[in-house]
Amino acid sequence: MQLKGKSVIGPILSVVLPIGVFEWVRSLGTKDVSLVVPAGHFHIVTIVAALAMLVAIGVGITGHRLRNIQVGFMSIAYLSLSGVFFLHGLTTPGFLMHEDYMPKIFAQLSVLLTAVWLALSAVSSDHWSVRLMSKWRILLLPGWLVLLGVLCALTIRYPDAIDHLPLTINPYKWIAGAATGAACLWTMYRYWHANQHGRIPLQQAIVYSTGLIVASQYIILMGSAWKLSWWLYHFLLLGSLLTMLLGLVRQYFSKGSFSTSLRILFQSDPRAWLEEWITPSVHALIMATEARDSYTAGHNKRVALYALRLGEVMGLTKHQLQAIAHGGVVHDVGKLRVPDSILNKRGKLTTEERLVIERHPVSGYEICRQLGFLRDELSIIRSHHEKWDGTGYPDRLSGEGIPLLARITAVADVYDALTSSRSYRLAMSHEDAMEIILSGSGVHFDPMCVMAWEKLASIDAQFFAEIAASDRTLHLAHSHKAAQ
């Protein structure tokens, strides 16, 4: 509780401190001078907002390549912020437009739309609304960009029409402000709460970034145009965007050079993606999982590699293969919530202990749905222990009711468990493990997956030998480290 108490101070300060500075400057009276510089406002805001739009578009492309709907929604949020704020600068009186109310409308509209999209990014990725939008995720960013373009065109062509947006008059400006504040505070809480266990850079950044938007909203409502105190919110919104961008870079571009990360990101080979694009946060989850039991070191990655190769033999699409890599490598992350006394018990588990173990797919599902994992990845995490005959767990699914990618991962998971040493037994040979896999066809495993697995074993025996060799090397390293 003490840690949580400390962790909440920063987010609170991100809201309170800027508002305090604003109120202090405003209290100076005549020293809160008017800086009426329309030319500076026009050029600086318009140029910075245009550059920020390019950054937001880049973030959206990154989110799509990473198969992360959370990052996709974030990009649209900051595209809304920069795009509508571009109109805020473009409508500076005395240049293209002469109406002094238009910049105020677009300032309010920018933070309102940003708050809505950020709130959506904080919704669990298995929510029906997010699942629906995920089906069209490739169109979300370009579609929203087109809508912003239409808004820009309408503003220039029919400026009087914008007057119908009552965002600067009572009581509507207070309603819009309250909606923005509520959405932002809810978003901050969701990301703060989800980040208590993982310490994920992007989630931390969004908490602070959203706090700056709340402070900006306050200044938009309470500030007087052109005053020194009023200018503060322009810098806060820019700071909000930069904070998010810093979190994104820390999370996804922290290994190797930036250019190398980009090159790997845009490769179509899911194996290269698996090797290089396991983010620090996901890597930390994997390490934390495997640290609970040294005998499972490397298990998650091996399962992902086995499943990936099996998926290739079965002719899966590039996107399905990426999903297998992404979901397979964290399929057992729910074991973080299983007590050590049960997870590492050498004897037979009691019925109650077995039930605790059987909850780990659901626990992993709950962790990863807060991280923006898509439906295919979540299905692997939740359903890789389901059995073809319906006797698996946690949902007792059967046959083709089990998602295909989970059926593929189930074969890979069992094979690796059989051919890896455990605290209670030595590893089986490849041949003995294959016999068990084949005998489980139509009972434990999807017969189609077993046929493909048998084909893989016959055409690529070297693949199994290479992974077995890497497994032995890894365990020798762990044994040497333990001996020291």
- DSSP per residue, 272-338: HHHHH---HHHHHHHHHHHHT-GGGTTHHHHHHHHHHHHHHHTT--HHHHHHHHHHHTTTTGGGGGS
Rounded to whole angstroms, the maximal C-alpha distance in the chain is 86
pLDDT of residue 437: 95
Q: Any bridge partners for residue 68, and if so which?
A: 373
**What is the full DSSP assignment across 176-212?**
HHHHHHHHHHHHHHHHHHHHHHH--HHHHHHHHHHHH
Residues 6 or more apart from 330 whose CB is under 8 A from it? Answer: 282, 285, 286, 300, 364, 368, 381
What's the CA gap between 87 and 442, in Å, rounded? 61
Contact 374, 67 (CB under 8 A): yes
| Contacting residues for 182 by C-beta, under 8 A, at least 6 apart | none
Structure tokens at 153: 């065109």
pLDDT at 307: 93
Q: From the centroid of its chain, how far is CA 211?
A: 19
Residue of 438, 316, 332 lying closest to 380 (CA atoms): 332
β-sheet bridge partners, residue 227? 34
Q: Write out the two tokens for 437.
A: 């896999």
Q: How far is CA 242 from CA 82, 163, 276, in A?
A: 12, 31, 25
Burial 43-65 (b: 16+ CB within 10 A, else e): eebbebbeebbebbbebbebbbb
Instruction: Please answer whether residues 379 and 406 qualify as being in contact, where contact means their C-beta atoms are separated by less than 8 angstroms.
Output: yes
CA distance 474 to 462: 18
User: Which residues, including other chains, have CB under 8 Å from residue 276's CB and lie 6 or more apart?
Assistant: 255, 256, 261, 264
CB 382 within 8 A of CB 362: yes
Tokens coding 431: 């041949």
DSSP H helix total and E strand total for the chain: 24, 0
Q: How many other C-beta atoms are found inside a 10 Å radius of the C-beta of residue 402?
A: 23
- Cα–Cα distance measured from residue 84 to residue 108, given in angstroms and rounded to the nearest whole number: 9
Taking the C-alpha atoms of residue 319 and residue 125, their distance in angstroms, rounded to an integer, is 17
**Taking the complete model, does pTM exceed 0.85, yes or no?**
no
CA–CA distance, 177 with 213 (Å, rounded to integer):
11
The CATH label, of 1.10.3210.10, 3.30.460.40, 2.130.10.30, 3.30.450.20, for the domain at 270-478 is 1.10.3210.10
Domain 9-265 has CATH 1.20.1070: yes
Three-state SS at 272: helix
Which tokens belong to 283?
Answer: 């890597």
pLDDT lower than 70: segments of the chain: 1-6, 94-100, 196-199, 252-284, 292-297, 421-425, 470-484
Spatial contact of 379 and 411, defined as CB atoms under 8 Å apart? no
Distance of CA 362 to the CA centre of its chain: 19
Which residue, among 382, 384, 359, has the nearest Cα to 446 in the 3D structure?
Answer: 384
Q: Tell me the domain boundaries of the chain.
A: 9-265, 270-478
Cα angle 91-94-97, degrees, rounded to a multiple of 5: 40
Angstrom distance (rounded) from CA 188 to CA 119: 9
Query: Among 446, 447, 358, which residue's Cα sits nearest to residue 403?
Result: 446
